[in-house]
Amino acid sequence: MITILKDWSVTIILMLLVIAIGIVLVLSSNGVIGFGTGSKSSNSNVRQANVNPSNNSKSATDDKTIKKSIEGLEEFISKLDKSVEKSSTNQENIASMLNDLSTNQENIASILNDLSNNQGKSESDITSIMDFIEAIETMKFAFEDLESKIASFILTEPATVIGLDDVFFGSPSFSPTVYDDAPLGNKIVYIYKENWTDPWEIHTMGADGTNQTNISNSDVHEFNPSWSPDDTKITFDTNDQIYVMNADGTNPTNISNNSAYDRRPSWSPDGTKIAFESSNPKHGYREIHVMDADGTNQTNISNNDASDMHPSWSPDGTKIVFTSKRDGNDEIYTMNADGTNVIQLTNTTEGENSRPKWSPDGTKILFWSNRYGKSGDFYVMNVDGTNQTDISNHNIYNNSNPNAQYIGTVQETMPSWSADGTKILFQSTKTVEKGGGGWTLYTIGVEY
């Protein structure tokens, strides 16, 4: 289920090598390369002369062109060889993606056979050959694009169920501290309810899904839990206010304590501040605020007449990534921690993009999107918005049918990183209708 491929098929590469070198050698022997300049009629004369077997002379220009073409192919093949050295799995996926590029193999053989057996070539023959050379160039660019994606993000482990299967839960995240015996983070926090009519309550469990514990035991809804950087506290929202409690659920304290609607808190990496979204009942739209960890010095840093939400800090604490409706659609933006230097990263009119999370090493941003009519996938992009890759668009579940998860209303959502950045935690379901079906918690292994 993933475009993130890790292996090039040696057979496919050898096939491309034979085809490409064969084309160059045959075209060279028949004098097809290097048609000269001038009017269309003079071009036709030159082409007919070049394919005449009695014409054994080759111009220096043709020789240089052939040499340059071969050198270019050798350089491209060398790049593919390097990719082979870095790759070891997913041959089936790469073969499937390259299927469209290799289905004309019989036509290729036919063209080469005609070149070998026939001494004279018509105008249409030569046009077909040139069209095929252009197709080879297109194939080359397709390979380079795939190589770029492979180099940037690799699936190392398929989706694995962690503790929660077909139940009502949400907002899962690993604790942020890396330990020698717990590199992913030693716990997962999430909201959970036994039945659909029950209130959402905050739970924790081990990173392996064991020791599931209700730490809030509340009779009101609690949402969006977020760990403090040292794992000792959890901030969350309830009754549209921001609270902080100890990691065991004791001493819950309202720290925002105002008349606005405050939600989705996010702790800064140094633990001194909390970013959150807040909306004034008078105007309704949401804005990003930052306050000290004790609730003092609350400051509106987004100051925009469109809703800004889902703040997440960069690992160095200098920037915040967030969702905004500034262009009328949910898109991902970054800004400095004081609200300056706002930069739009996504721009898709055919869907929404939201819930961004910065990777632990600061090089990637994970986010959710329902672009292109999908129920909901999670994507990864560079921090400047480039190379947006649909991580859940391919076979992360190891299904025989790569698109099986899109039958019905399947959705993958609420993605977040492990503490060491080697796994992505997310929830998925095959029925997302309100009141029906439960979610399942998964992790996938990643390398980038």
Angle of the 10-30 helix axis to the 123-152 helix axis, nearest 10: 150
Q: What is the pLDDT of residue 413?
A: 84
Are 142 and 160 in a shared domain? no
Residue 432 placed within a domain: yes
Q: How far is CA 99 from CA 17, 153, 198, 201, in A?
A: 17, 22, 50, 48
Are 392 and 426 in a shared domain? yes
Q: What is the pLDDT of residue 46?
A: 35
Are 31 and 177 in a shared domain? no
Q: What is the pLDDT of residue 98?
A: 53
Residue 320 placed within a domain: yes
pTM: 0.66
Are 168 and 53 in a shared domain? no
Residue 1 placed within a domain: no
What distance in Å separates the CA atoms of residue 16 and residue 349, rounded to the nearest whole number? 38
Are 136 and 165 in a shared domain? no
Q: Which two tokens stand for residue 139?
A: 């194939």
Are 33 and 111 in a shared domain? yes
Query: Pick from 152, 176, 210: which residue ends a domain?
Result: 152
Residue 4 placed within a domain: no
Are 166 and 191 in a shared domain? yes
The CATH number of residue 334's host domain is 2.120.10.30
**pLDDT tens string 47-78:** 333 444 444 444 455 556 556 666 666 665 66
Count of domains forming the chain = 2
Are 441 and 301 in a shared domain? yes
Query: Pick from 105, 131, 152: which residue ends a domain?
Result: 152
Residue numbers of the chain with a pLDDT score lower than 70 = 1-153, 182, 184, 282-283, 393-410, 430-437
**Contact present, 355 and 414 (Cβ < 8 Å):** yes
Residue 362 placed within a domain: yes
Question: Structural domain of residue 126, as residue ranges?
Answer: 10-152
Residue 3 placed within a domain: no
Residue 2 placed within a domain: no
List 378's β-bridge partners, or say none: 368
Query: Pick from 152, 179, 203: which residue ends a domain?
Result: 152
**pLDDT tens string 99-109:** 545 555 555 55
Residue 110 placed within a domain: yes
Are 51 and 174 in a shared domain? no
